[in-house]
Amino acid sequence: MLFEDILDDVGGFSKFQFLLVSILCLPRAILPLHFLLYNFISATPPHRCALGSPEDGGVAALGSDPEALALRIPLQNDGSFSSCRVYDPQLAFDLGPGNRTAPCPHGWIYDQSQFSSTTATEWDLVCEDKHLNQALATYFFLGVTVGAILFGHLSDKFGRKSMLLVALITSTTFGVTSAFSTSYVMFVVCRALCGMALSGLSVIGVVLGIEWTDVKHRTLAGIVMSLSWSVGNMLLALLAYFIRDWRHLALAVTMPCVAAIISWWWLPESARWLLTKGRVEEAKKYLVQCAKMNKKNECTSSLETEALRKMTVAELAEKNNSYLDLVKTPHLRKITLCSGLFWFAATSLYYGISFRISGFGVSIYLTQFIYGAIEVPAKILSYFALDWIGRRNSQAGFLITTGALIGINTAIPLDYSVLRTCIAVVAKGFSEAALATAFIYTTELYPTSLRQHGLGYTSCIGRIGISLAPMIMLLEDVWLLLPPLILAGMGIISGSLVFMLPETHNICLPENIYDVEEEGRALLHRQKEANGDAKIELKETNSKDTTAAQDN
C-alpha cells in the first residue's frame, strides 16, 4: 500500500486539508512584507546639505528661499540643488573659485513629504555612504540564502512542524528587535537573522501543505498558497501608505508573525515524513485526526500499525540524510542540476524584469499594489496550465515565453514606450508563473526523505539569482542591450533544459531515493523503447521506398 492510497482513504482534500492550507497561507503572506520592505524603509528622499544657520531651524523640509539657498548650495546640470555639496568660503580662498565646494559639514535636511523617516535619514546613509543603505537588502538576502540551506536540512531531520515554529519565533524576535535598532550594525545583524528565519517559512510551508494533499489537488494547494504571496504584496502597499515611519512599519510587518504562531498549534506534522522516519504511532495519530475531521470514520479501523509499518523503509528510518545525497545517484543528480538551473533563471528573470519596469506614472504605493495585483492572473493561469499540459511543460513554457518576450522587447524601438511597458508587464506575469510553478514542481520531484533538502537547495540557488539580478542590470553600461539579451537567453536555455526532467502531474510523490531512481530508469527505458520503435519504423519505411524504386 502506498501513502497516496491511505491519503485517499482518509480524505485527500477535504476539511482537514482546507484548514491546513488556510493556516499555511498566513506565513506565506508574511514573506513579501519583509522581502519587499526595503522599497519603503530604505528609500532615500530628496535632501540637501544642512547649512547650520537659523533658516534650517530644525525644520526638515526643502522649502527654504531658493535665492538664499543658491548662495550656499551649488546647482546641478538639471537645475536642482546639489544633494551632497555646499559652498565653502575657506576653500574658495585657499584653492580658488574652481574648487570651492565641500561635503556637507552639518549633515542633511530631508524632504519629509513622503516619508517621515527611513534608514537613510536615520543614519544619514546618503552621498558617500549611500552604498551602505543599498547594502541593507543585500545583507538581508544573504540571511535568506543561508536560511534556505539551514532550514531545509533541519526540517528533514527534526520535522516540518517543529522547525516552522522555530522559524516563526525567530522571525518575530529579530523583526521586533530590528525596529528598535540603535545603530546601523545592529540593524544589519537583526535583519540578516530575520531573513534567515523567514526563509524557513518559505521552504517549510509549501512542503507541509503538499505532503498532506492528494495527487488531484496538489496544484490547487500550491497555487492557493502562492496567491497569498500576492495578497501580502498588496497589503505591504497599504501598510506603507499609512505608516510612513520606518520603525513603525518594521513593527507592523512583523506583527502577523504573532498570529501565525498562535495558528501553528492547529497544524499537524507531516504523516508522510513521520513514516519515512519510522515514527509510525505519531503518523497514525495524525491520520486518524484527518479521517475524523473529514468524516471518514470508517477508515480509521483500517489504519493498522503493522500496515503503516510496512510502508516505512528501515534504511531511511536509521539514516541521517544530507545535501550530499542530492548528487550521489544519477537520476537524482540530474534533477538537482536542472532544478537548480531553472530556479536560478526564474528568480533572475522575475527580479530582473522588476528592476527594469519604471512604474505606471503613479505613486510608489499604488505601483506596489498594482505589481501585487498583476501576479494574481498569472497564478490563475499557472493553475490551469499545470493541469492541462503538466508540470514540466508549464515550467518550460513559462521560462521560454518570458525569455522570448524580453528578447522581443529589445527589438522594439525605445520610442514605443507604451508597447514596451505592456510587453514587460506581461513578461513579469509569466516570470511570476514560472516561480509559482517552480515551488510545486520541485516539491514533487524530490523524495519525502530529501524533499526539504531539495527545496532548501533550490531556494538557495534562487536567492543567488536574486542577488545577481542587479549586477546583470549594471551591464547596460557595457552595452545597453546586454542585460535583456542575457535574461532572454537565460529563460530560453533553462526552459529547454526542463524537458530533461520527468513529468510529475498525477503521479504519486516519491518517498525515498530508490523511488526516484526507479522512476528514472523506467523513464529511460520508455525513451529507449520509443527510439527503438522509431528506428524500426524508419527502417521499414526506407525498405519500402527501396522496393518501390526497384519496381519502378
Residue 1 has pLDDT above 60, yes or no: no
For the stretch 36-52, pLDDT in tens is 888 888 888 887 777 76
Higher-confidence position of 361 and 162 = 162
Which three cell numbers mark 548? 518501390
Q: What angle do CA 97, 100, 105 make, to 5 degrees?
A: 165
What is the C-alpha to C-alpha distance for residues 471 and 189, in angstroms, rounded to an integer? Answer: 23
Q: What band does 72 get if pLDDT is binned at 50, 70 and 90?
A: low
What is the C-alpha to C-alpha distance for residues 406 and 404, in angstroms, rounded to an integer? Answer: 5
**Residue indicated by cell numbers 514573506:** 31
CA nearest to 154, candidates 145, 167, 143: 167
In this prediction, residue 133 carries a pLDDT of: 82
In this prediction, residue 188 carries a pLDDT of: 94
What domains, with CATH codes, occur in the chain?
1-43+100-317 (1.20.1250.20), 321-552 (1.20.1250.20)
Q: What band does 128 get if pLDDT is binned at 50, 70 and 90?
A: confident
Let me know: does 509 contact 448? Beta carbons within 8 Å. Answer: yes
In this prediction, residue 344 carries a pLDDT of: 94
For the stretch 389-410, pLDDT in tens is 999 999 999 999 999 999 998 8
3-state helix vs strand vs coil in the chain, percent to 5: 75, 5, 25
Question: 62-71, 81-90, 151-160 — which is least confidently predicted?
Answer: 62-71
Size of the chain, expressed as the number of residues it contains: 552
Q: How far is CA 164 from the centre of its chain?
A: 17
Which three cell numbers mark 536? 524500426
Question: Cα-Cα-Cα-Cα dihedral of 262, 263, 266, 272, to 10°?
Answer: -120
CA nearest to 137, candidates 185, 188, 201, 171: 188
In this prediction, residue 464 carries a pLDDT of: 86
The one-letter amino acid at 406 = I
Which three cell numbers mark 409? 522587447
For the stretch 409-429, pLDDT in tens is 888 887 777 787 788 878 888
Q: 86 forms bridges with which residues in the sheet?
A: 102
Higher-confidence position of 119 and 109 = 119
Integer angstrom CA distances of residue 497 from 239, 307, 400: 41, 40, 10
Pairing state between β 85-87 and 108-110: unpaired
In this prediction, residue 512 carries a pLDDT of: 81
Integer angstrom CA distances of residue 453 from 321, 437, 460, 530, 541: 9, 18, 10, 34, 49
In this prediction, residue 81 carries a pLDDT of: 67
Give residues with Cβ within 8 angstroms of 317, minimum separation 6: 276, 277, 278
Q: 110 forms bridges with which residues in the sheet?
A: 47
In this prediction, residue 396 carries a pLDDT of: 96
What is the C-alpha to C-alpha distance for residues 394 and 498, in angstroms, rounded to an integer? Answer: 10
Higher-confidence position of 242 and 481 = 242
Let me know: does 373 contact 230? Beta carbons within 8 Å. Answer: yes
Let me know: does 236 contact 32? Beta carbons within 8 Å. Answer: yes
Residue 19 has pLDDT above 50, yes or no: yes
For the stretch 496-507, pLDDT in tens is 999 999 999 888
CA nearest to 176, candidates 197, 160, 161: 197
In this prediction, residue 197 carries a pLDDT of: 94
What is the C-alpha to C-alpha distance for residues 414 and 420, in angstroms, rounded to an integer? Answer: 8
